[in-house]
Structure 1
Amino acid sequence: MDNVYDLVEDFYGHDPGWNFLFRREYAEGFLRIEAWHGKTPEELYDIWDQLTMLCLYLGNTELMLGDMSADDFVDCIAWCGRNVSEFDADYEHTKYFLDTCVRLYAYLQKKNVISDAGAPLEAEEKLLAGGKMNIVNPDGSFTDENKDRRLFTVPDASNKIFLNVNERMQEIYAAMHEFFTESRFSVDLERASVLYHGIFGNAINESAKSRQEAFNSFWDYFLLDYRLMLRDMHPLEYFYETVCSSDSRYYDAGFAKRNSDILKEIISARLVLFTVEGFGEEGMYLCRDFLTNETYQLNLPLTEDIDTTDMLFIGHLFYNDNMLTENMRGYKIDNINALCLRDTLKRAYKWVSVQQKEPDWQWFSEYYPMVLRNMLFLYAAGIAHKNFNNYTEHTAFAAAPYSDETLVAGILKNIMLKNYFALADVRLATQMWCDLQAAGADLAAYSETVWAAGIIYTFVKLNGAYTFFDERIAGFCGTEVAAMQKASETICEVLQIEKHDPRYSNEEGILAMLMSAYM
């Protein structure tokens, strides 16, 4: 936003109903008076935040501006302390809010909008008497001496409220883009690009309205879905731990104070496919999850002329399943292809679920996001019509206890990370070694190095997503090709390894399996 008046326009433009509580002309008029009295642009932003909180409180009551008493302002402070993320109900923040309201009420009285401007000043005398905070605790609860006020307080909002979300998100995304374009993340960005575009190249971005939208869509995937090779966590999680942790050398105290709360919310976002079923209350859309059938109400960036019939949307759901991140995508898909898509995704989910004791769709979308994205693109484009027809004997697999303390596990980690496998791949390969040990294989048949080479070779071959020649694998493992292949034969025999074995398939392997039917 270029100035505070853009925020005002956005606030009232999003929901004209706010005019009923506090008319836009009065909000803008008060801000202009404040500017005329010498308030800086930064101070005007802060003043607008106070007006926004006042409106939010009124919106959760049956009160109008002129109806508010001193006790209502006391309750307003407590309510904002409990519900508004940026507001602590301490002495400093309370004084700033009430001082702003004192000036606002004086302005409104001069405009003959209200008859009495004394309520916020009386509230100050109650809350700030003796130069300290009274009645309300910093978290918005009431002190023990005033616990009876809990009986009459306005009910809390259903979700934590963040002020000026769009502007804060712009700052966050700009900071993350700068952070992850450092050279140390170049390999991850390259791998993410390959996973995102896959065999389709730029075709997957054909539904984007502009190059900027396509760019934003990729970064949405990278930050929220992709998992960093050396850390096995989403980049957004790593960014939060690095920039918002006081123990980190990248710690930014100011940024953390402004944005750590909303970052925590976005970290909880989950990738979902959903359809639009109709309209709910207050302009919300009634939506149904394509895979779990659960329903939720969302505020979607759709214009009234968009026909959502036969459309399937994909986006990141967060904020107690009430909000989506900005980069939602929608695809037209006929009923037959939608049914085939659901069947393929459910079969793929069942295929890899042997890796988890308690699998669910959130786990699947977290570790196999490009399966959702690529299959949606394929079926919406009318390319894929074959059913998932892979078969496995390992539907009742019970993994051996996992341990990365053995010498072979250490060799696997050292070799695989040096050769650009992800940490998640290392864990799958290590699990294969643990299963081999538990199966009673003759471990004395080969050295630890040869066993490690055999595990890596088997992992590469079963996933079918790598272009390594046998000599290359043996080379970076430091062993002979024949020995490596012999060890792999033993592993395959003892564990009954299958092509695209679900016990050890990674995301690239599942994609290779699904794509092989259509290439």
Structure 2
Amino acid sequence: MKNVYDKVSYFFSHELGGNLVITQEWVEGFLRQKAWQGSTDKELSEIWDQLQLLIQYLAVTEHETLEEISGPEYSIFIEWAGHATSFKITLQSVRRIFGVLEEFFQYLIGRRLLHTAEDLQLAAKEIAGGKRLRLLKHHLDDDELERLKHEWTHSLGPRTAMMLDDEASIFADIVERLMNKLAGYFQKNVFDEDFHRALFLYVGPANTIPSPHQENFEEFWMGFWDYFLFDYHLIADDRSPVDHFCQSQEKLSGEERAVLRDLVQAEFSVFYINKIVNQDWVECVNLFTDEVFEMPYPAVDNKMMKRLLFFGHIFSHGTIMANYVASVDISPNLRRRIKQEISRQREIFTVQQPDASWKEFFRRHSIAVRHTMHVLTTVSTVNVTPLHARQQYPSVEKKREPQPAVVEVLQRMMPKYGFSLHDIRLAEKMWSDYCQRRETQVRKPAVWAAAVVYTFSLLNSLFNASMEELAQDAGISTSGIYASRGKIEDILELDVHDARYLNEEGFLLLLYMS
């Protein structure tokens, strides 16, 4: 199963007949609300396990409405769950199931599908409100409980009965298993440099990592891992970690691969709510493309709903993809400013990648979008993006192949200094542009390669390698690097932050230095 919604769908389609007291629509609507509140897929699965017990009990007892369950009968329900399923009757587990049921009942009350939760609340207080579990009177004897268990397990067939006895869920939580594998895989030492680079990009030059006692500590790391897995580009292959994991892992089941393929397709999106469709869905609009799609009804006040700007990962058809979807409360004017600022950033990006779509821009620079929104919503500033960023550069016509010896040295040299595959491609582009605008006789490839690397570092405010280090490692003089760098700068008419060769670090720092 891909996620908790697939488990719910399978359960209602295969395990139970029709005319149920609690419908699939109610359950899915409640789970979507919990997802908006930040519940992880694991937590949603645990909530579903609790709700499933009540649905199973109602199917056996043949109640027609939830209001028919009296306060004392919740004690019978708890006893039945402990005998007929894998549910363990402890004070903690009973409090947990009452907590889930009360939230679910309040959700139904808010949708006018249930009148009151008073009996449930009184039962929860009486049974699990003290220091000890206190089951109410009128409980069932062992024979009656065994009869209910027998009716339940045989009505579902041997498959489900076996799974209950084995204390297993209907289906393994594939997504949770994958996330555990991803976490373990990317905690290897080989990815340490990537982790620190991603953390620098996520935090930025003007912020700090919160300490464990700070209120935003958990939210910070949820946001970071969302960025790292879906938007960060690995140094070695320029893939997102999720994509890299999908391509490199052989020991994955077919179901796990199917889930990973879905994860790889998740796209970063910034959107707002346009209107309420019904009790479970809202109509949303992509801030930049004006695409209209539907999302689950968020757990926010109706008056506040239209002031929120959301950002996170979604499928193209509008289903929440990632666990972490954040929002900021802003005015319509600030929303327009955010759109203007980020639109200007996309224009800068098109210098490097002409005709780039919003999807392509977000795929490369979603971290700049995150920082722009953070700065505009927390700091009193007029602009984030340079107002007069250069758009016109010397034309480059393909006349000749760049000197291959220099390219070979670049490809060997740059990884030693921590440059990414994307950095190498941009540096190669710089060398190729230079070769098109000026025919050059290359006597010492290492000199030109070092000059390209040093120039690229300065443009992007990187300090991977000093001129002295490059000269010493390549066995060349600093004067040779300096002279070649001057020629590259003059012929290409380079800017301080030249949009043609900006990498992710350079693009981000451009915003903070403007």
Regarding TM over 0.5, the answer is yes
**2:471 counterpart of 1:474:** yes
Is 2:249 the counterpart of 1:240? no
Kindly indicate whether residue 480 of structure 2 is the aligned counterpart of residue 483 of structure 1.
yes
Partners of 2:398 and 2:380 in 1: CA distance: 40
TM-score for the superposition, normalised by structure 1: 0.65
Instruction: Name the SS of the counterpart of 1:471 in structure 2.
Output: helix
- Give the secondary structure class of the aligned counterpart of 2:269: strand
1:311/1:333 contact within 8 Å kept: yes
Q: 1:441 is paired with a residue of what secondary structure? A: coil
Q: In the alignment, what sits opposite 1:107? A: 155
Q: 1:461, CA displacement in angstroms? A: 1.6
User: Which of 217, 221, 237 lines up with 1:215 in the alignment?
Assistant: 221
2-side partners of 1:306 and 1:28: how far apart?
42
Give the TM-score normalised by the residue count of structure 2: 0.66
Query: Deviation digits for residues 114-141 of structure 1, max 9, x if unmatched?
Result: xxx9xxxxxxxxxxxxxxxxxxxxxxxx
Q: Where in structure 2 are the equivalents of 1:452-467 lying within 5 Å?
A: 452-466=449-463
1:439 has 2:437 as partner: yes
1:278 is displaced (CA, Å) by 2.0
2:231 aligns to what?
A: 225
Unaligned runs of 5+ in 2: 13-21, 32-47, 63-78, 89-150, 158-168
The offset of 1:503, in angstroms, is 1.1
**Distance 1:306-1:237 versus aligned 2 partners, 3 A rule:** farther
Cα 1:345–1:166 shift into 2, 3 Å: farther
Q: How far is the alpha carbon of 1:281 from its aligned partner?
A: 3.9
How much does 1:33 deviate? Answer: 10
Tell me: CA distance 1:440–1:235, structure 2 relative to 1, closer, same or farther (3 Å): same
Return the offset for 1:370: 1.1
Quick one: distance in 1 between partners of 2:244 and 2:432? Answer: 29
Q: 1:175: which partner in 2?
A: 181
Task: Pick one of 393, 413, 419 that aligns with 1:415.
Answer: 413
Asked if the contact 1:470/1:481 (under 8 Å) is kept, the reply is: yes
Q: Tell me, yes or no, if structure 1 residue 15 matches structure 2 residue 29.
A: yes
Q: Which has the higher contact order (CA 8 A, sep 6+)?
A: 2
User: Contact 1:287–1:297 at 8 Å: present in 2 too?
Assistant: yes
Counterpart Cα distance in 2 of 1:371 and 1:205? 24
Aligned to 1:78: none
Q: Post-superposition shift, 1:402?
A: 11
Task: Tell me the amino acid that sits aligned with residue 474 of structure 1.
Answer: A
Spell out, residue by residue over 1:66-108, the C-alpha distance to the aligned partner (whole angstroms, 9 max, x if none): xxxxxxxxxxxxxxxxxxxxxxxxxxxxxxxxxxxxx989739
In the other structure, the counterpart of 1:317 is 314
**CA-to-partner distance for each residue in 1:14-39, whole Å, 9 max, x for gaps?**
337999xx965455779x99997999
Among 199, 207, 228, the residue aligned to 2:205: 199
**Which one-letter code corresponds to 2:264 in the other structure?**
I
How far did 1:488 drift? Answer: 0.9
Q: Contact 1:441–1:494 (CA<8 Å) still a contact in 2?
A: no
Contact 2:268 2:314 in 1 (8 A): yes
Equivalent pairs counted in the alignment come to: 388
Matches of 1:223 and 1:322 in 2, distance apart? 18
Mapped contact 1:313–1:330 kept (Cα < 8 A): yes
Structure 1 residues 367, 261: closer, same or farther in 2, change over 3 A? same
Deviations 1:277-326 (A, max 9, x none): 22124511211111112111112553446722332211011153332311
Alignment check: 8 A CA contact 2:351 2:391 kept: no
SS at match of 1:175: helix
Corresponding residue to 2:193 among 184, 187, 190: 187
Within-5 A mapping of 1:331-370: 331-370=328-367
Which residues of 2 match residues 155-174 of structure 1 at below 5 A?
Answer: 167-174=173-180
Report the CA distance between 1:410 and its aligned residue: 1.5
Report SS of the residue matched to 1:315: strand
Identity percentage of aligned residues: 21
Spell out, residue by residue over 1:393-447, the C-alpha distance to the aligned partner (whole angstroms, 9 max, x if none). Answer: 5368557499799221121111111110111000000111111222233234x51
Deviation (angstroms), 1:242: 1.9
Q: Is the 8 A contact 1:334 1:380 kept in 2?
A: no
CA contact (8 A) 2:284 2:294 kept: yes
Structure 1 distance, partners of 2:399, 2:503, is: 19
Q: How far apart, CA to CA, are the structure 1 residues paired with 2:403 and 2:211? A: 44
> Does the 8 Å contact 1:462/1:505 carry over to 2?
yes
Which range moves more in the overlay, 374-383 or 186-195? Answer: 374-383
Q: Matched residues in 2 for 1:358 and 1:280: separation?
A: 35
More displaced stretch, 435-444 vs 500-509: 435-444
Q: Which runs of 5+ in 1 are unaligned?
A: 42-102, 109-116, 118-162, 246-250
SS at 1:186 equivalent: helix
| Cα distance per residue 1:143-182 (max 9 Å; x no partner) | xxxxxxxxxxxxxxxxxxxx99994322221211111001
* Partner secondary structure for residue 330 of structure 1: strand
Aligned-residue CA RMSD (Å): 4.1
CA drift of 1:510 comes to 1.2
Asked if 2 retains the 8 angstrom alpha-carbon contact of 1:354 and 1:397, the reply is no
Secondary structure at the counterpart of residue 229 of structure 1: coil
Separation of aligned partners in 2, 1:401 and 1:27? 77
Helix, strand or coil: the match of 1:324?
coil
Which deviations, in whole Å up to 9, do the C-alpha atoms of 1:335-394 show, x marking residues without a partner? Answer: 343333222211111112122244101111111121111001000113331263233253
Whether the 8 Å CA contact 2:397–2:436 is kept in 1: the answer is no
| Separation in 1, partners of 2:434, 2:311 | 40
Which residue of structure 2 lines up, in the alignment, with residue 429 of structure 1?
Answer: 427
Q: 1:23 to 1:393 in 2, by over 3 A?
A: closer
Q: Tell me the equivalent position of 1:406.
A: 404
For residue 466 of structure 1, report the CA deviation from its aligned partner.
Answer: 3.4
Structure 1 contact 437–443 (Cα < 8 Å) conserved: no
2:508 alignment partner AA = L
CA distance in 2, matches of 1:368, 1:165: 37
Amino acid across the alignment from 1:14 = E
Contact 1:500 1:513 in 2 (8 A): yes
Distance in 1 between residues matched to 2:87 and 2:335, nearest whole Å: 54
Cα 1:326/1:472, change in 2 over 3 Å:
same
Greater Cα offset, 347-356 or 218-227: 347-356
